[in-house]
Amino acid sequence: MSCLKRTPMDTNLEIAFHNMDSQPELEAYIRERAEKTEKLFDRLVGMRVAVEAQHRQHKTGNVFDVHIELMVPGQDIVVSRKPNKAKERYANPDARTSIRDAFEAAERQLKEYKDKMRRDVKVHDPEQPGRVSQLNPNEDHGFITTNTGTQLYFHRNSCLNVDMDQLKTGDPVKYVEATGDTGPTASKVWRASGSDTELRAT
């Protein structure tokens, strides 16, 4: 049996059960772990968790395969908790144990992804100061006025330490410029303090 549940988390969360009935206690535990994972990274845009009952073992009973997919800007983080690994570590593996281990592995990968994003900004990319000049949240983009007075496009997914909906016109930001299909764009944008941004007077 396959059952799909959607929950009212800030992040879109989908829960599915395969070859087994939906279990309220497992759903509650998945939601609890998902909320904890969501707090690690505020740009997590979606999450899918699938629990599948494998063939029944004579000595240990059912074993479970847990698949977690985290949707983050630019890629998906995928973790599968394989039944054979659970059997190797526990005499009597159960669904809760496999769910816990899968979330722990997913959280480690999410932290690595977050750390990599920070390193890319701090070490590799030449940051520039600017100010938000226009916001079009319904169309998922906005514009930055650079310190030379030009307008630079940025997409919602380019925001690093702040959600686009939290930005206001005139907010000081830092950005990294890249060349897109239609010309220069801000590939990464993050909020800066007012003292960090000095724009040329017009």
- pLDDT of 94: 81
The answer, yes or no, to whether residue 198 has pLDDT greater than 70, is no
- The token pair at 181 is 């299909």
Residue 136 exposed, middle or buried by CB count within 10 Å (0-12, 13-18, 19+):
exposed
The pLDDT score that the predictor gives to residue 176 is 87
Domains of the chain, first to last = 3-121 (3.30.160.100), 128-196 (2.40.50.140)
Highest mean pLDDT among 65-69, 174-178, 197-201: 65-69
pLDDT of residue 67: 93
Per mean pLDDT, which of 29-33, 43-47, 155-159 is the most reliable? Answer: 29-33
Question: What's the distance, CA 42 to chain centroid?
Answer: 7
**Mean pLDDT of all residues in 70-80:** 83
The whole-chain average pLDDT of the chain stands at: 79
Which tokens hold the place of 13? 């969360």
99: pLDDT strictly greater than 90: yes
C-alpha span between 43 and 72 (Å, rounded): 7
Q: Which residues contact 101 (CB under 8 A, 6 or more apart)?
A: 66, 81, 85, 86
- Per-residue pLDDT averaged across 50-65, rounded? 72
pLDDT in tens, 114-173: 877 766 555 445 788 999 999 998 888 999 999 888 899 998 888 988 888 999 999 999
Strands of 3-7's sheet, edge to edge? 3-7, 12-18, 46-53, 64-72, 75-81
Output the pTM of the full model: 0.53
**In the predicted model, is pLDDT for residue 181 greater than 90?**
no
- Using alpha carbons, list the distances in angstroms from residue 40 to 33, 72, 160: 11, 12, 13
